[in-house]
Structure 1
Amino acid sequence: MDSQPVKPVRVLSPSGMLGAGWDHATIERGLALGADVISIDAGSTDSGPYYLGSATPKTTAKAVARDLRSLLTAAAGAGIPVIVGSCGTSGTDSGVDWVAGIAAEVMAQEGLNLKVARIYSEQNAARLKEHLDAGRIHPLPPLGPLHAETLESCTHIVGAMGHEPIVAALRAGAQVVLAGRATDTAVAAAYPLMKGLPAGPAWHAAKIVECGGQCTGNPRAGGVLATIDADGFTIEPLDPKVSCTPISVAAHMLYETANPFEMREPDGTLDVRDARYTAVDDRIVRVEGSRFHVADQYTIKLEGARITGYETMSFTAIRDPLILADLDAWADLMRTMIKHRVGQTLELADHEYAFDLRLYGHNAVLGDLEPETGPPREVGVMLLVNAPDQATATAIAKVANPLMLHLPTPAMDYLPSLAFASSPAEVERGAAYEFVLNHVVDCDDPTSLFRIEMAEGADV
């Protein structure tokens, strides 16, 4: 007897990030179009290592509550699941619990009693050292071999889960899945893969919808609906006034990928070399030809951050034409004078602290790659000091204060007055962090590094 064909799955992606906000009417339209699941990412490494290192969310609780209210009420009414990945920005255990607590409050206020799964992705350094000793951890470029001391130095380490832990939670009856760190695509690919759809279309569609409406002509207007079937998928904007085009959909494979034709997931590699993008009409795009190559070894990517010191910042602005005429020379003089004054006043050697001088309006963004020439009209000067403790960082910034206010060029016979942006000029930024893990760990069981806890309603 022939097996029954696998039914298409419709994935509603309201936005690129929980807490970003959307018009609830776009969610209602997605439900009217037959959405089977709502998926959304809640985190990223885009904003730097601070959020992982400190286990702090970049979104506000009120914004997350607003968005969860929209999703949970809609999903409960339609009887479909909600999947949230990388909770709390970095996917730490406390980030999962933070989102779960907000979800519990929303459900209590709305009279909902949904079964919620928390999937924890934070990793223990001691356990990872066992994997390291067994030769199961490998570096990704540009990093080299991992050392145990690096693991021990991290304040938080997470593993980026694939779709399997999410599928396990759904099969256990979860109506809401709140996952720790996950690949952006796993959040959207999990449900169609669970329903038996091919990996090529499922992973490719997940990549296209990961940022909501970014694959449309107006990313501010809301999310998209992906309909995945055995042969491919279609992408439709949730706002009826917005369109997708073959170019706007295909272009999203350029986003955050080193190779626009391939994307690695824990269990293999998406290959879109033979993908064909066709306009169904003036709004909807059809994609076929995506393939997925299963890897010989299942791997989980590790992300870790550690404290590099403590930072103090000051910011001044220059509009003096004589300084701006040779700004690089002035900046070199500023660097030399700061080192001299810090050594003279605080008796610190160069290796005991660090500072960065950034010239906004000149070359702070592109550096030596800046193509524009000629003196700028005005420039903002950011001094960022890093030291082993906050008091030292602030003391260095204070030593630099008179220079940031009055340093002349060698050719000037007067003291210029520059403009500090704030009073006091020194702003203490607290601990600074750096990413130190860009490694993968070999896993025989896709769920072995993750923990799932189930609860309902107020017990979440």
Structure 2
Amino acid sequence: MHNERVDQVKVLSPTGMLGAGFPEATIERGLELGADVISVDAGSTDSGPYYLGASQPKTTRAAVARDLRVLLKAAAGAQIPLIVGSCGTSGTDSGVDWVADIVADVLADEGLDLRVARIYSEQDKDALLKSMEEGRVHALPPLGELRPDTVRSCTHIVGVMGHEPIVAALEAGAQVVLAGRATDTAIAAAYPMMKGMPAGPTWHAAKIIECGGQCTSNPRAGGVLATIDAEGFTIEPLDPTVACTPILVAAHMLYETVNPFEMREPDGTLDVREAVYTALDERIVRVEGSQFHVADQHTIKLEGARVTGYETMSFSAIRDPHILANIDDWAGLMRTMIRQRVEQTIGLSEDKYAFDLRLYGHNAILGDLDPAAGPPREVGVMLLVNAPDQNTATAVAKIANPLMLHLPTADMDFLPSLAFPTSPAETERGAAYEFVLHHVVDSITPTGMFRTEIEEASHHG
């Protein structure tokens, strides 16, 4: 029975990102240690808004298929569930279907017979506008009140689910759960919560193992196993040559959190102020004292992206020591010349397009904060143009082309030759996107904003 209570639950986290790879031996080791469930994250917002805006996966199909083949065979052999969250990178409906298609291929290839649930997290704009009218949508800092036109401008909007829709799918008999956008922790917390483990240790353990082996002495060596019980949890690397230490485990609460002692989930807040981290031996850590405070109002966070324009990129390289000795003045001249030439050539004023000039090797990363003194040895100049349409963006980049190739400093009496690494020099990047939603919706029920479909197992060996 799915809902029978147990003394402990062992969660196997193979990697921080489905498709990133892991040694197959670490999965075998996790099964030997008695894993009750395999949970793996397949998505992120770390790589920017394109993947949500365009509903495209960051990972390649071959890498996802490789990882899923190992995990599906392991789950089937051990008769334990496999939970995948934020399918297709951003958790859009097509991302869930993309992963589901790969799963179906693997199941057919391997002759495996597993019930697969798809949980869809994309949000209907009209339903969101109705929630706004009802006063159930609230801004998270630093954004202000959500405007209807912002919702309408998004190409895709997802709600970030907690553990509840995943639990519902497991209780309905799913052996493989493919979730749309979910909190990284909900994926690992769902099965232990269903089995009656306490919320404090469960959510804390889920946070520590969300990135696989990142909480270990060698993050490249594979994942970890968390054993959650009534008093706390232990965490052990799946590679026997790798260690967890109290510092490494505690440090993961600093990762991707606003507050190192608290983390908000849809149904409440994890509080680790009283947590005590103890080394049981050289490589296994025990954690006790984690608490969870249930919120008065269950909330679902929204993520949405929209097109900001179309981009064309050009790249040139400078090795001329005189230009490099005066690189900031040269870049200032370049910016002025581009604006002037665009106005002269196609009559476009500055408010009709935008461009960014980044000096890699000088200050492209830190800007004015860069502590380095003295001229750089070589600099890569990246021009990134954004305009309302692709043709305009490319036209601006092409107008800049002679400048990117031959612009001298103000005191040079000849034209230098700089270096384009590609021909043509301009690369059309297509639509550019921005995140525009940082808001939550007051939930009516924890599962109400999500749709679940469970397929009957149909592949027989």
Category of TM-score, reference length = shorter chain: over 0.9
Answer yes or no: is the 8 Å Cα contact 1:113–1:456 preserved in 2.
no
| Corresponding position of 2:262 | 262
- Measured after TM superposition, the shift of residue 456 of structure 1 is 3.0
Q: Secondary structure at 1:420's aligned position in 2?
A: coil
Aligned to 1:113: 113
> What TM-score, normalized to structure 2?
0.98
Cα shift at 1:367: 1.4
AA of the residue aligned to 1:140: L
- State how far apart, in whole Å, the 2-side matches of 1:397 and 1:151 are: 32
Q: Structure 2 unaligned segments of length 5 or more: list them.
A: none
Deviations, residues 157-181 of structure 1 (Å, cap 9, x unaligned): 0000000000000000000000000
SS at match of 1:74: helix
Give the counterpart letter for 1:406 in structure 2.
Answer: H
Matches within 5 A, 1:15-414: 15-414=15-414
| CA contact 1:354–1:386 (8 Å) conserved in 2 | yes
1:25-76 residue CA offsets vs partner (Å, 9 max, x unmatched): 1000000000000000000000000000000001111111111100000010
- Mapped to 1, the partners of 2:326 and 2:227 lie a distance apart of 58
CA contact (8 A) 2:308 2:432 kept: yes
AA of the residue aligned to 1:312: T
Question: What amino acid does structure 1 have at the position aligned with 2:103?
Answer: A
The offset of 1:5, in angstroms, is: 7.8
Q: Normalising by the residue count of structure 1, what TM-score does the alignment of the two structures yield? A: 0.98
CA distance in 1, matches of 2:457, 2:331: 59
CA contact 1:121–1:451 (8 Å) conserved in 2: yes
Q: Given the superposition, is the C-alpha separation of residues 458 and 51 from structure 1 closer, same or farther in structure 2, using an over 3 Å criterion? A: farther
Q: Is the 8 A contact 1:43 1:85 kept in 2?
A: yes
1:416 aligned partner: 416
Q: Is the 8 A contact 1:107 1:457 kept in 2?
A: no
Equivalent-residue separation in structure 1 for 2:110 and 2:355 (angstroms): 51
SS of residue in 2 equivalent to 1:150: helix
Q: CA deviation at 1:203?
A: 0.3
Give, in angstroms, the shift of residue 6 of structure 1. Answer: 4.3
User: What CA deviation, in whole Å up to 9, does each residue of 1:414-451 have, x standing for no partner?
Assistant: 21111112100000000000000000000120000000
Distance across 2 between alignment mates of 1:246 and 1:5: 29
Give the length in aligned residue pairs: 456
| Deviation for aligned residue 1:458 | 4.6
Q: Deviations over 1:258-277 (max 9, x none)?
A: 11111000011111111111
Tell me how large the CA RMSD over aligned residues is.
1.0
Give 4+ residue runs of structure 1 displaced > 6 Å after superposition: none
Deviations 1:197-228 (A, max 9, x none): 11100000000000000000000000000000
Letter in 2 for 1:314: S
Structure 1 window deviating more from structure 2 (404-413 vs 173-182): it is: 404-413
CA deviations over 1:82-134 (Å, ceiling 9, x no partner): 00000000000000000000000000000011000000000011110000011
What is the rounded CA distance, in whole Å, between the counterparts of 1:154 and 1:33 in structure 2? 45
Q: Deviations over 1:382-422 (max 9, x none)?
A: 00000111111000000000000111111112211111121
Q: Is the 8 A contact 2:5 2:195 kept in 1?
A: no
How many Å separate the matches in 1 of 2:161 and 2:427?
37
| Matched AA of 1:386 | N
Cα distance in structure 2, aligned partners of 1:357 and 1:290: 47
| Deviation sequence 1:338-395 (CA, Å, 0-9, x none) | 0000000010011110000111111111112212222111111100000111111000
- Contact kept, 8 Å, 1:116 with 1:176, in 2: the verdict is yes
Give structure 1 stretches of 5+ with no counterpart.
none
Distance 1:273 1:320 in 2: 56
Q: Does 1:434 align with 2:430?
A: no
- Distance, in Å, in 1 between the alignment partners of 2:199 and 2:332 is 55
Partner of 1:101, secondary structure, is: helix
What do residues 321-353 of structure 1 show as CA deviations (whole Å, max 9, x unaligned)? Answer: 111112111111111100000000010011110
Equivalent position amino acid for 1:195 in 2? K
Q: Is the 8 A contact 1:166 1:190 kept in 2?
A: yes
**What is the percentage of aligned positions where both structures have the same residue?**
77
Which secondary structure state, in structure 1, belongs to the residue aligned with residue 116 of structure 2?
strand
